Amino acid sequence: MRVLSVASECAPLVKTGGLADVTGALPRALAAEGVEMRVLLPGYPAVMAALEDVAPVIDFDDLFGGPARLLAGMAAGLDLLVIDAPHLYDRAGGPYHAPDGTDWHDNPERFAALSWVAAHVAAHGAGDWYPQILHGHDWQAGLMTEYLRSMDAPGIRTVLTIHNIAFHGNVGADRLGALRLDPSRFTHDGFEYWGMISALKAGLVGADALTTVSPRYAEELMTPEFGMGMDGVMRHRRDDLSGILNGIDHEVWNPAKDPLVTPYEKPAGKLANKAALRAEFGLPEAAGPLCIVVSRMTFQKGLDLLLEALPALTARGGQLALLGSGERELENAFRNAAGQDANVAVRIGYDEGLSHRMMAGGDAILVPSRFEPCGLTQLYGLRYGTLPLVALTGGLADTVINASPAAMAQGVATGLQFAPVTVEALRNALAHLCDLYAQPKIWARMQRNAMSQPVGWDQSAREYARLYHRLAAGK
């Protein structure tokens, strides 16, 4: 089974969030299921610098504004196809934003090119390699189904995975020509969305199968509260939608072998990592739990709620160490909180190594998201015995067993959930967390439960492989 994964980012080469972790881990997980997956990526500077064993396979005279090449190569153990298009991708900044934080003005063309090349590979191959399935991720790959319509690619089946439906990739209808789109498809049943071109909607209506990253999020997407304006489309496609839970890479996130932390097979591993983490953040000794947050700092993540609820943690001897970046107002608010309370420490930015040390040294990880398609940080927390306290939504609900009276009586709890997603409910959950932490035997049992939870890709890879085979068989 040959599958081309079409993505705008892929760990460890380029990463802004969980999407990259998924697209980086899935090829290795699927190999065990007999799936040969190559990843199609834009040729950002970091990707081009990492590429090895490079072979040009296709030349394009004009790829949305300039010449380009498709390169085959390897990087970080991944089999890649990379779009070498300097006019689109060779620039400082991130994959979506300029150094000043604004969106690249030509993002519609940059990711239309990604989708167009995916369709071209489906129709004409990359050298002697032809995919049977195109598996696109989020709006950046949404237009691939539209381009396939204009190319002779019989038998190619398509999958679109929704990692976060909040991002639509909308642009004005005046770009129809520039994006090489068929004007007759600019309709309610096509890729038109409130008078705009919607790359996400193109994929939602055009892909043979839709997946999202947890079973509960699949249900939530069909509601006005969580569907972000696409709930009607999702209800229409409900028979083609499945929720396949994300996993994590056991080799990258392994507390027994993580080179960034004290190995957990040593009895003092967690305690040593906690002491080191406190020292790194400049936190004093404290009687309560050391809680961590590793997150984008946005409204979605509910961190404004955490700011208001923080006194419920620190008044009980608890502490907070936060790593993240995002909305300037939230960044400044947490900086102010750290300046006013010695038990709150903040690092603004992205630091992969520090995130590992935080998972290893924290007692609990807080994920108070208003919505969360799957979430990966709670899975990292489970793996490292850093108990998740999460909102009851999306994949957070699917992956954490709440410390309810029934779960505690059966000895199966792995963390805490709270609902509704309000300040008061979060305060109560933090108080409950402190109560549990004050009972060492109960806390240790929950840590053992958490670390024994299956959080890898095995089951999910089998589900993806079954989906691919079903589609390839025309079912």
Tokens of 396: 């957070």
CA distance 331 to 346: 9
| pLDDT the model gives residue 18 | 87
Residues tagged in the binding site annotation for ADP-alpha-D-glucose: 15
| pLDDT the model gives residue 250 | 87
State how beta strands 196-198 and 192-193 pair: antiparallel
Helix 328-340 to helix 303-314 angle, to the nearest 10 degrees?
A: 10
CA distance 293 to 303: 9
3-class secondary structure, 471:
helix
Question: What structural domains and CATH numbers belong to the chain?
Answer: 2-247+458-472 (3.40.50.2000), 269-451 (3.40.50.2000)
CA distance 381 to 222: 29
Q: List, in sequence order, every residue forming a beta bridge with 212; answer none if it has no partner.
A: 162, 243
pLDDT per residue rounded down to tens, the chain (475 residues): 999 999 999 999 999 888 999 999 999 999 999 999 999 999 999 999 999 999 999 999 999 999 999 999 999 999 999 999 999 999 999 999 999 989 999 999 999 999 999 999 999 999 999 999 999 999 999 999 999 999 988 899 999 999 999 999 999 999 999 999 999 999 999 999 999 999 999 999 999 999 999 999 999 999 999 999 999 999 999 999 999 999 998 888 999 999 888 887 766 789 999 999 999 999 999 999 999 999 999 999 999 999 999 999 999 999 999 999 999 999 999 999 999 999 999 999 989 999 999 999 999 999 999 999 999 999 999 999 999 999 999 999 999 999 999 999 999 999 999 999 999 999 999 999 999 999 999 999 999 999 999 999 999 999 999 999 999 998 7
CA distance 399 to 390: 10
Tokens of 275: 């002491």
Residues tagged in the binding site annotation: 15
Spatial strand order in the sheet of 78-84 = 52-60, 68-75, 78-84, 36-42, 2-6, 133-137, 157-162, 209-212, 241-243
Tokens of 318: 């608890």
- Beta strand segments in 61-117, E: 68-75, 78-84
- The model carries a pTM of 0.92
